[in-house]
Structure 1
Amino acid sequence: MLLPRPLSLVLDKLPVALVQRVVNQAFRRALQQHPDLFDRLGKEAGKRFCFVPTDLDLVFLVHPANGFIHTVRKASAPRADATISGPILTLLALLEGRIDGDAVFFSRSLSVTGDMEAMLALRNALDDCSFDLPSDLAAMAGPLAGPFRQLAEHIRHRALKGLA
């Protein structure tokens, strides 16, 4: 399932610095809530992983060993050791472990290139984390945490119906 076009247009028009700020907060929160996230990567933690949403003009580069995530436009995409491309909602569903990565890969909804051993190690690490993005990120909404979580759960539910 793709993001609704009006939403992707809005996200693509946001300044990268603003997107980076939100992504940094979400990434730090994820590392706080799942401190062992990258433990299973071993030597693969030194690799650079690129996540490319096909329905957005953004790229997210994660370097586990340094604990950072960098957001850029696709035209400025940096070199990575392993890259996974697909619709943003599919990538988020994979992060949460709510869909079968093999099934979406073989259905050609995802593209994986580069160091497959590193990507497999990352997949195994994510499988052990039990992400629940609406709950994990709701606290970032402050006093609107409850409505934010409910809206995010609704969006996830609709997205997963489209991915089934």
Structure 2
Amino acid sequence: MKLPDFRLPSPIASLGRKLPAAAHTLPLLGMLDIARRRGWLTAPPALEGRQFRLVIDDLGVTARFRCVNGRFKSTPRASADQDDLTLSADAVDYLRLTLGLEDADTLFFRRRLKIEGDTELGLEVKYWLDAAERPAWLAKMARHFEEQAT
């Protein structure tokens, strides 16, 4: 099963934008914390104290968080100029990135991943995401998608 290029219908994004900020941020922070505890994801020092905004365009989801002592913590709703770095993409592209099916550079140059803010921090995050070792179950899922595509 190849991951197709698709965008969820716009009514979904409308619904997503009506949800409270915590409904956007808490699931993401929960996943990041599980990955950190299991040793799958260790934040590099360059992320310390920095504020991030992650936008899933076709879901209408915006999550804001900060890195504190290697952990990701929720931040209150803030204006975009307070974010050090913003990453924006559709859900399927984040899935491709997470599974390692596409790297951040490929998605960026195909204009499927938007990176705004501190350029140096953006490069650090991009390299960190690309170099992160995927757990065995995630690597197995990626192999499954690749096999189905051929």
Give yes or no for TM over 0.5.
yes
Letter in 2 for 1:24: L
Aligned length: 139
In 2, Cα distance between equivalents of 1:21 and 1:113: 22
In 1, Cα distance between the equivalents of 2:79 and 2:59? Answer: 13
TM-score, normalised to structure 2, is 0.67
The residue number in structure 2 matching 1:92 is 95
Q: Which amino acid aligns with 2:106?
A: A
Matched with 1:37 is 42
C-alpha distance in 1 between matches for 2:15 and 2:36: 24
Question: Could you give the per-residue CA deviations for residues 64-120 of structure 1, whole angstroms, max 9, x where no partner exists?
Answer: 2352243889xx665311112111221232234320322221221222111111111
Any conservation in 2 of the 1:55–1:88 contact (CA below 8 Å)?
A: yes
8 Å Cα contact 1:52/1:60 also seen in 2: yes
Two-structure CA RMSD over aligned residues (Å): 3.8
Which residue of structure 1 aligns with residue 117 of structure 2?
Answer: 114
Q: Which runs of 5+ in 2 are unaligned?
A: none
Higher helix share: 1
The change in CA–CA distance for 1:130 and 1:77 in structure 2 (over 3 A counts) is farther
Contact residue 58 and residue 71 of structure 1 kept, 8 A: no
TM-score, length-scaled by structure 1 = 0.62
2:55 aligned to which of 49, 52, 57: 52
| Structure 1 unmatched ranges of 5 or more | 137-149
SS at match of 2:116: strand
